[in-house]
Structure 1
Amino acid sequence: MLIHEGRIKAAYDAGVFVLKLYGDVRLTLCATLDRQAQQLAGTPGLTSLIIDLRDATNVDSTALGFLAKVAMAVQGRLAERPTIVADNPDIQRMLDVMGFSSFFTLVEAPITETQELADLPEVPSDVEETRHRILEAHRILMRMNEHNREEFQPLVEMLEAQEAASQRG
């Protein structure tokens, strides 16, 4: 199976924001997802958030952490929880195990097809920024449930040690 490099598109219309992920979504897109979370937190008139994963072949744990951050950025501002549309059984299982149903409404079919989606430009990130974002994403995942805490604790401890060493050096 050919796996395509990940990319992200977005659309905003009449209070509905749609974030659509394509291909193999990995940590290289986390700066883009982080910027989107920050922008959504301040978007006036936002009424609904839909994250469409139907064209994603893989979403790594760092990207999942930033999807959770997107949901947390709009928490309390929307009448209903953000929606994730996913029809890939592997991605559905991963979302379930990671506890995403506590923060999102998970569906297999789109609620509505959106207008034209625009490519989001990839936000560049250096090694330090990337390591910091990976750490942040996994801390977010650890707060979601006990399974994630146990799963990601060793990685978080290793990244914290690397971060401390780079700050000393």
Structure 2
Amino acid sequence: MYAVHQGTYVVKLIGEIRVPICSTLDAFIERMFTDRRLSSVLIDLSETSVIDSTALGLLAKIAVRTRKQFQQKPLIISTQDDVTRILDTMGFEKVFNIVYERPVRSPELTEIPKVPCDENSAFDKVLEAHRVLMDMNDNNRETFKDVVAALESRAAEPVTSEASRHQDSTTKLHRIN
């Protein structure tokens, strides 16, 4: 869900945030950063129950682009202990301002338009997201170096039959996530 108020984009992620929504979230991020009204970003994770590393990488992408474009950190609201623990482990406090309380009120939200996430798109988003996470800090670099190496190796493989490629990619994506 999202809302825009006086140049501030509010992005609220609800429930389990995993690879299948990666194309939707990434397309939204790209559109958001082309909006001339954009001045800041608030990410509300107060109703997020699970968030995987690909989604975290896309959030990190928001931090990188916000810092580059506005020389400021975006804001994250995180009230779920498990989610907050993951943010802390990944070093998000260095690239986001994090608030640990629910907002007093939320703006009226609109559903982010869904974008289909096919296998190739998911693969590309998983690789990009993990590269962004690796660039955040040394701990993440160590944590995700093998994942990124495996994904890069897979990306460099010659194209095989569609059925074989589908089976291989599906197996690798399930192993990673």
* TM-score (norm. length: structure 2): 0.84
Pairing partner for 1:56 from 28, 32, 48: 48
> Mean Cα displacement is larger for which, 44-53 or 142-151?
44-53
What is aligned with 1:126?
Answer: 118
* Cα distance in 1, alignment partners of residues 159 and 140 from structure 2: 27
What is aligned with 2:174?
Answer: none
Pairing partner for 1:90 from 73, 77, 82: 82
* Cα distance in 2, alignment partners of residues 28 and 101 from structure 1: 26
Say if 1:166 and 1:121 are closer, same or farther in 2 by CA, change over 3 A: farther
* Cα distance in 1, alignment partners of residues 23 and 152 from structure 2: 19
What is aligned with 1:36?
Answer: 28
* Cα distance in 1, alignment partners of residues 155 and 83 from structure 2: 30
Say if 1:127 and 1:167 are closer, same or farther in 2 by CA, change over 3 A: same
In angstroms, what is the RMSD of aligned CA positions? Answer: 1.7
Letter in 1 for 2:82: D
Q: Is the CA contact 1:46–1:78 (under 8 Å) kept in the aligned structure 2?
A: no
Say if 1:167 and 1:99 are closer, same or farther in 2 by CA, change over 3 A: farther
Q: Compare CA radii of gyration and give the structure with the larger one.
A: 2
* Cα distance in 2, alignment partners of residues 41 and 101 from structure 1: 22
Pairing partner for 1:24 from 5, 16, 19: 16
* Cα distance in 2, alignment partners of residues 141 and 153 from structure 1: 10
Pairing partner for 1:103 from 95, 99, 106: 95
Matched, 1:45 2:37: yes
Structure 1 alignment gaps of length 5 or more: 1-8
Which has more strand, going by share of residues? 1
Q: Is the CA contact 1:33–1:67 (under 8 Å) kept in the aligned structure 2?
A: no
What is aligned with 1:4?
Answer: none
What is aligned with 1:6?
Answer: none
Which has more helix, going by share of residues? 2
Residues 37-69 of structure 1: per-residue CA shift (max 9 Å, x gap): 212222212222100001000100000000111
Q: Percent identity?
A: 37
Say if 1:141 and 1:64 are closer, same or farther in 2 by CA, change over 3 A: same
TM-aligned CA deviation for residue 126 of structure 1? 1.6
Matched, 1:151 2:140: no
* Cα distance in 1, alignment partners of residues 13 and 129 from structure 2: 17
SS at match of 1:120: coil
